[in-house]
A and B are shown apart, each in its own frame.
Chain A
Amino acid sequence: MTDDLPVLDLRGVKCPANAARALLRLETMEAGERLAILLDPGEPTESVPAALTLEGHRVVATTDCKDHWRLVAEARG
């Protein structure tokens, strides 16, 4: 990926700690700023987007990178 977004690598981090860390990071960002989040395949690809959406952030892209997933989230500010 070459979109120059800041990256939060949460591979290897279990649920729900991965969602917690993503939320903490997004809360430091301005409204509309975007963050790329790397996740393990499986459960995190469902629970992390759900937790972000519930808190008012937007998930604008989800990409299967084979050994992991890349999610782009937009901070609610």
Chain B
Amino acid sequence: MIYLDHGSTTPLAPEVAEAMARATAVAWGNPSSDHGSGLAAARVLEEARLRVATALRADPAEVVFTSGGTEANNLALKGRLLRGGRPGGRLVVSAIEHPSVMACAAWLEGLGVAVDRLPVDGEGLVDPDDLRRRLRPDTRLVSVGHGNHEIGTVQPLAELARVCAEAGVPFHTDACQSFTREPLPAPPDLPDLVSVNAHKIHGPKGAGALRVRRGLALEPLMHGGPQEGGLRPGTQNVPALAGFGVAVSLADPAEYQRQAALRDRLLERLLSIRGAHLHGSRTRRLCHHLSLRFDGVSGRALAAALDRAGVRVSRGSACSSGTTAPSPVLLALGIPPAEALGAVRITLGRGTTEAEVDQAGAIIDQAVATLRRTP
């Protein structure tokens, strides 16, 4: 089996599994308990926080642990727009955000928040000048993802952050796909709110974080104890977060360069197939990510044929792969609906080899040819 769906999730790294087992055995205490067992758990938790904070270019006190990226995105958007218990003001989101951002925005819209959906160009890039023109005195938040989950395009985050800072508007980015793969801008251009998670980088499911700039007020989604600065009450999942910390520390720029070279090798092979089209930017894209379509071939049929042939890819975001409608992300790029249904997403990981990429390229070529012959 050749697994090329690391954008949906990644296998747990052995080092992560070991750290989680160790934390389960020795750091089982409640990290809020003020005795030896609590301190043992708190040490593991705070070490993880330090590691995540370092990768986020943030202070450990700014890291709020969550159950994952979706919760971090919900906390960022609802936390800003429901501040003070009164929904209102304006939210700007790009038109190609993850469902956990888009669904939040739609829900807030139903409560009376004005939502401005920022268009993108044909490569999926947001125009900083367009963003500048859309900011108003009542804009409470701008949310633009760093590396897009479906098309892999990487946004000019520092430029967008500067536009927001000049207008005094807090800026959020969903960095779940890009975390550790693409560098975040250094402060002061680091977005005020940054969502990340563990399972896209060979860490466990159920672990994520939101960087909250010191002094930025948010409304919590849940109410309870003082954990995570009161923004995320409830006893933390120490083993999962220990795994998150180790996953972050395993991130290696040389490995990401290797993946980028394999991605380019596979892209070259796939673009040699007649009627192949790449989605997103050719140059400003995530190191592990390809999104393509092949004229006359349905993405659903191709993904299914590849699965039968032992190659695992997805049609788009795993969070929307059950739908039959064309991807809103691809429609936002100006791709016609019928063609958007042809998309497949291919995402590489730590275990992907050159031999696998070459084999996958040949299998995809063959599957496309077979499906084109099928009436």
Contact = CB atoms under 8 A, between A and B. Distances in A.
Contacts of B32: 14, 16
Given A17-B46, A24-B50, A51 B61 contact: no
B236 to A, nearest CB: 10
Interface residues of B, number: 16
Contacts, number: 37
22 contacts: A12-B61, A14-B32, A14-B226, A16-B31, A16-B33, A16-B34, A16-B35, A16-B38, A16-B39, A17-B42, A17-B46, A19-B42, A20-B31, A20-B42, A20-B45, A20-B46, A21-B46, A21-B60, A23-B43, A24-B43, A24-B46, A47-B34
B189 interface: no
Contacts of B35: 16
A62 B53 CA distance: 29
Contacts of B31: 16-17, 20
Interface of A: 12-17, 19-21, 23-24, 43, 47, 51
B356 interface: no
B116 interface: no
Interface of B: 31-35, 38-39, 42-43, 45-47, 50, 60-61, 226
List 6 tightest A-B contacts by C-beta distance, closest first: A20-B42, A20-B46, A20-B43, A16-B39, A16-B42, A15-B34
Contacts of B45: 17, 20
Contacts of A51: 39
A14 B60 CA distance: 13
Contacts of A43: 34
A9 B61 CA distance: 10
A21 B61 CA distance: 10
A73 to B, nearest CB: 16
A47 to B, nearest CB: 6
A12 B62 CA distance: 12
A43 B34 CA distance: 10
A34 B309 CA distance: 61
Given A17-B42, A21-B50, A51-B39, 18 more contacts: A14-B32, A15-B34, A16-B32, A16-B35, A16-B39, A16-B42, A17-B31, A17-B45, A17-B46, A19-B39, A20-B31, A20-B43, A20-B45, A20-B46, A20-B47, A21-B46, A24-B47, A24-B50
A21 to B, nearest CB: 5
B330 to A, nearest CB: 44
Contacts of B61: 12-13
Nearest to B34: A15
A14 B47 CA distance: 15
B63 to A, nearest CB: 12
Nearest to A25: B50
A19 B43 CA distance: 8
A23 B44 CA distance: 11
The CB with the most chain A CB atoms within 10 A, among B32, B43, B226, is that of: B43
A20 B42 CA distance: 6
A11 B42 CA distance: 17
